[in-house]
Amino acid sequence: MKKKQREKVSAKEVLTRKELSSFHQDLDKYLKQQIPHIYQEGILNNQTIGIDDVKIIKKMAKEIAEKETELSQRKEHINKKIKEVKNIGVSTQNVYDVQDQWTHLTNQLKKHF
C-alpha cells in the first residue's frame, strides 16, 4: 500500500499545552468575528472537553466497570441459587413419586390379602 505524500503538522511542535487548551475557543471567537455571515454555528459542539471533564469521565468509567463486575457476580450467585432450587424441586418430585409408588403398592397388597 502506498502512503500519501503530504505534509504533517505536529501539535507538540506548534503549540504549548496552554495554547492547545484554549485553541478551540480562540478559533471559534476568531471565525465568528471575521466571517459572521458564513460562520454562524461555531466549532464548539460539546465534543471538545476540558481536562477536568476527562478526569470525571475516567472516574465514572471506573465506577461503571466496578458496578458491572458486581452485577455479574450477583447474576452468577442468583443462577447458582436457581440451580439449587431446581435440584430441590427434582428431589421433591422424586419423594412424591416414591410416595405414590408406596401408596400404589400398599393398595395392591390390600386387594390381594
Sequence spans of domains, the chain: 69-112
| DSSP run (H or E) holding 54 | helix 51-112
Confidence (pTM): 0.39
The stretch 104-112 carries a mean pLDDT of 81
- Side-chain-side CA neighbours of 113 within 13 Å: the count stands at 6
What's the pLDDT tens digit per position in 4-36?
788 888 877 888 888 877 888 888 888 888 887
Tens-digit pLDDT profile for residues 37-74: 777 666 666 555 555 677 888 888 999 999 999 999 99
Residue 100 is predicted with a pLDDT of 84
To which residue does cell 450477583 refer?
74
The pLDDT value recorded for residue 13 is 82
Taking the alpha carbons at both ends of the chain, their separation in whole angstroms is 96
